[in-house]
Structure formats: structure tokens, C-alpha cells
Amino acid sequence: MTNDISMFNMMLTGATLVLTLFIFYFLKINLFKEAIISAGRMTIQLFLVGIYLSWIFRFNHPFINIVYILFMAAVANYTLIKNSGLRLNLFNYTFPALLIGLSTVLVYFMFFVYVPTPIYDAKYLIPIAGMLLGNSMTRAIVTFERFYNSIKDDREGFASFIIMGGTVRESIIPYLRTAYKAGISPSLANMATIGIVFLPGMMTGQILGGSPPIVAIKYQITISLAILAATELSTLLMILFSLKKGFDSYGFLNINIFK
């Protein structure tokens, strides 16, 4: 078991926020309010989630677990669209794609890699789904923003592909490749430096929780590969599913998807 942190020691972590605010003051960056609000929201949200997850883990019912994962996926989908500079009218197109990418990888790893008992064990299912969703969201934000904005900035060039008889799926290929590369490059760089430059969260958490380092490493390797597969599948499907709304019946970019 991991050593608990007292509430007094928790309050001492506020000193790190003071250091951040001092750096903002020194550099004359006016983000004091945003930093305090973000830290406060994070603290409140995590404590509430901790209470709720304790309840979920105690009941460990498959229906409750699935509903909670669907809620997580909906929030992730909303956040990625919002932060990509696009309108929420894409939600109904990207949400199914995100669920397909998540469920495909999650089911495979739960049934063939981790194999908990029961298979829907919330202690495994929800944290792993959260890691897959969080990374998929971060990845999709970069790729979505780059993909649609690159076409928007080069509307004449894209239109020339369509006018010459190209389909939407044929015409988006160069833009998709550029956006995809921009999104995946940081992920590959992080994966290549795991264990040398930094120790990732899942591995560190398991070691602090008392797991042998080799066991923690095995879990980290499997979750890193699961994250890579889920993020790539989800991102590709979300772009493909969004094409129906992102382009009009003539194949031209639908400017109404942008904020």
C-alpha cells in the first residue's frame, strides 16, 4: 500500500503554485487568475472523482462501469472539438469514431492481455479507459486543428483538386499526412525516451503502490502500446467520420464547422 498524504501536507503543495505565480509576476505574464482557477478546479474535480470512483469500485457493476466510460468519452469528445477551433456540430460524427477506437483496443487488452477477474473489473477498466481517452483527446486536438486549418488556409489549392475531378477522400490525402505527422511526432518522441528521460505515471504509481519494478514495467509497456493503437485508430476514424459534415455536397470545405 502507498503511504497516505495528510491534508496538512496536501496544503503544503500550495507552495509550488506560489512559485509558478512568482514566475508569472517576474515575466509579467497576466495568467494569475487562470492558474489559480485551474488549480482549484483540478483539486475539487479530482476529490469528487475520487469519491465517486470509490463508490464505483465498491459496487463494480458492468452497467455502471460502461455508463461512466461513455460519460468520459463524451466529455473527451466535447473537449477535443472545442479546443480544435471547430463547432460542436461535429460531435455526432466524431463521437462514434472515438468510441470505436477506444472500445476496439480496450476490449482486446482486457480480454487478451490484462484478463482481470471479473473481466469488467472497474479497478482495471476505468483507469485504462481514462488513459486511452486522455491521450486520444490530446492527439486528436493537434491533428484535427492542423488538418482542417491547413485546408482552410489553402482553400484554392484544395478546390483545384476537386475541380479537376478528385473526390474528397483523394484530395485530403496530402493535408491528412501533414496533420497526422504533426500529431504523432510528439507521441513517438515521448515513447522513445520512456525510462531514460522520464518515468511515466502508470509505472511510477505502481512502484509507489508496492509493485516490483519488473511488473510495473510490463504494465507500462502494454499500456503505452495500447495508447498508441487507440490514439491512432480513434484519430483516423474521427477525421474520416467528420468528412460528411466537414465538406459540402460538391466536395468543398464547409466553413460553418469553424468557430
Query: Please, is 63 exposed, middle or buried when counting C-beta atoms within 10 Å of its C-beta (0-12, 13-18, 19+)?
Result: exposed
CA distance 216 to 209: 10
DSSP 8-state assignment for residue 29: -
Coil vs helix vs strand at 198 = strand
Write the pLDDT tens digit of every residue in 68-118: 999 999 999 999 999 999 999 999 999 999 999 999 999 999 999 999 989
The torsion of the CA quartet 166, 172, 178, 181, rounded to 10 degrees, works out to -120
Write the pLDDT tens digit of every residue in 220-256: 899 999 999 999 999 999 999 999 999 998 899 999 9
Q: Residue 121 region, left (φ>0) first, then alpha (ψ -120 to 50), else beta? A: beta
Q: How far apart are the first and last CA of the chain?
A: 48
CA distance 54 to 52: 5
